[in-house]
Amino acid sequence: MEHKNYGAPAWLTTPLLLRLTKAVCVGAIGLLAALIAFGNLTDYGSNYAFVSHVLAMDTTFPASQVHYRSIHSPWVYHTAYGVIILAEAAMAGCCLRGSWDLVRALRAGAAAFHQAKRWGVAGILLGILIWFVGFEVIGGEWFAMWQSASWNGLGAAERVLSFLMLTLILLHLPESDNQPSN
C-alpha cells in the first residue's frame, strides 16, 4: 500500500511516524526505569521501608490468616530490594538500547526494523517481571500488600504495567517496507 505524503515532512508520514513512536515509547520506558533505579539508589531508605513493610506484612489485616508468610529479616529485605534495583537498572539499559536500535533502524526494511525491537522487548519483559510478578503476584497476593492502607503499591504497578503492555502491543504491529522518500 502506498502512503501519500500530502506535503508533510518525510518524518511525519504514517509508517515512519509509527516507527518513531515505537522508539519513543521504548525510550520512555527506559527513562522511567532509569529514574526509578536512580531514585531507589539515591533515596534508598524510602523504598527500603516499603519493601520491608510489605515483606513483614505488619500493616495487613490483623486477623488475616496469611501472616505465616511474613518475613522478619533485614538481610532478606536488603537482598530483595537489591534484586529489584538491579532488575530496574537492567530494564532501563535494555529499553534505552532498544530505543537507540529502533531509531537507527527507522528507515530500514521491515525485517531489519523488526529485529531492532529485541532489546526493547527484553526490557519490557523485565518490567513485566518486576511490576507484575514482583509487585502484583508476590507483593500483592503472596504478601497480601492489597490489605495494607499505607504500603500498597498495586496502583502504581498497574499504571506501569499498562504502559508496558500497550507498548509491547504497539511494538508488534506489522512493519511496512513502504518508507517515504525524502
Number of Cβ within 10 Å of residue 64's Cβ equals 13
pLDDT above 70 for 81? yes
Q: Which three cell numbers stand for residue 41?
A: 539508589
- Of 41-45, 76-80, 170-174, which range is least confident? 170-174
DSSP SS3 for 49: helix
Q: Which three cell numbers stand for residue 43?
A: 533515596
Q: Any idea which residue has 500488600 for its cell? A: 145
What angle (nearest 5°) sits at the alpha carbon of residue 124, between those of residues 118 and 130? 140
Number of Cβ within 10 Å of residue 66's Cβ equals 14
pTM attached to this predicted model: 0.88
46-69 tens-digit pLDDT? 999 999 999 999 999 999 999 999
pLDDT above 70 for 99? yes
Residue 182 pLDDT class (50, 70, 90 cuts): very low
DSSP SS3 for 176: coil
Instruction: Supply the pLDDT for residue 14.
Output: 80
What angle (nearest 5°) sits at the alpha carbon of residue 160, between those of residues 47 and 38? 40
112-160 tens-digit pLDDT? 999 999 999 999 999 999 999 999 999 999 999 999 999 999 999 999 9
Sign of CA dihedral 158, 161, 162, 163: positive
Instruction: Supply the pLDDT for residue 162.
Output: 98
